[in-house]
Amino acid sequence: MCIVIDMNCLGGVFNKKASDHDEFRPVHDWIIHGKGKMVYGGTKYKKELKKATKYRKLLVQLKKAGKIVELNDKEVNKCHGELDAAIKHSDFDDPHLIAIIIVSGCKLICSLDKRAYKFIKKKALYPTHIEKPKIYGSKSNSDLLSDENIAKICRPASKPNRLLKNLLEASEAAIANGR
């Protein structure tokens, strides 16, 4: 399974002290302990990610563990621009997320932005060879975190080894302690 994580869920997924962590614990566990991988790319996403300094160390460890798939920024930016030009709507403020899905073929997105759901689910925005993604918004969606939702770009999907698990857990502890 690979998943695009909207910034509005990043804390819920990776900060065990976040008020909504219980809802996102399955995503966290799937990435940290299971076969899951986080997918991202593009200038806008990376700009948003830079603001999340609290998670930088953990994301570096996730990348070392092979738990992050970083896309070609130029491809994501191009797709983002095309989507932005094609749809003019006040609720359409996350075309970069759909661009990441299109470029990666990712089948899941973790988001709490209900305004964006109608666009994320809009089949016409996706090329015919790309499935519209399923949306993880709470632990009631845990059944989505399965091998059938592993996109080609995230294969092979494997669990991290013991050493990397320890590094990831140490990074998570630093986040929980506010470091």
Nearest to 160 by CA among 174, 172, 143: 172
Q: Which residue has the higher pLDDT, 174 or 33?
A: 33
CA distance 121 to 94: 13
Task: Tell me what pLDDT residue 154 has.
Answer: 81
Chain centroid to CA 148: how far? 17
Q: Residue 73: enclosing H or E segment and its boundaries?
A: helix 73-86
Q: Which residue has the higher pLDDT, 60 or 176?
A: 60
Q: How far is CA 18 from CA 115, 163, 170, in A?
A: 23, 26, 17
Average pLDDT over residues 95-105: 97
| Residue 123: pLDDT over 60 | yes
Nearest to 98 by CA among 68, 118, 112: 118
- Structural domain spans, the chain: 2-176
CA distance 162 to 159: 9
Confidence of residue 116 (pLDDT cuts 50, 70, 90): very high
Average pLDDT over residues 140-150: 91
| Residue 18: pLDDT over 90 | yes
Average pLDDT over residues 3-23: 95
- List the end-to-end C-alpha distance of the chain, in Å, as a whole number: 29
Q: How many residues does the chain have?
A: 179
Q: Which residue has the higher pLDDT, 105 or 168?
A: 105
| Residue 158: pLDDT over 70 | no
* E strand segments, 53-105: 68-70
Half-sphere exposure of residue 51: CA atoms within 13 angstroms, side-chain side: 9
| Residue 178: pLDDT over 80 | no
Q: Is the peptide bond before 160 cis (omega within 30 degrees of 0)?
A: no
Task: Tell me what pLDDT residue 73 has.
Answer: 98
Could you give the percent of the chain with pLDDT greater than 90? Answer: 66
At residue 70, what are phi and psi to the nearest 5 degrees?
A: -100, 125
Could you give the percent of the chain with pLDDT greater than 70? Answer: 88
Nearest to 47 by CA among 80, 21, 22: 80
Task: Tell me what pLDDT residue 164 has.
Answer: 63
Reported CATH class of domain 2-176: alpha beta
| Residue 27: pLDDT over 70 | yes
| Residue 74: pLDDT over 80 | yes
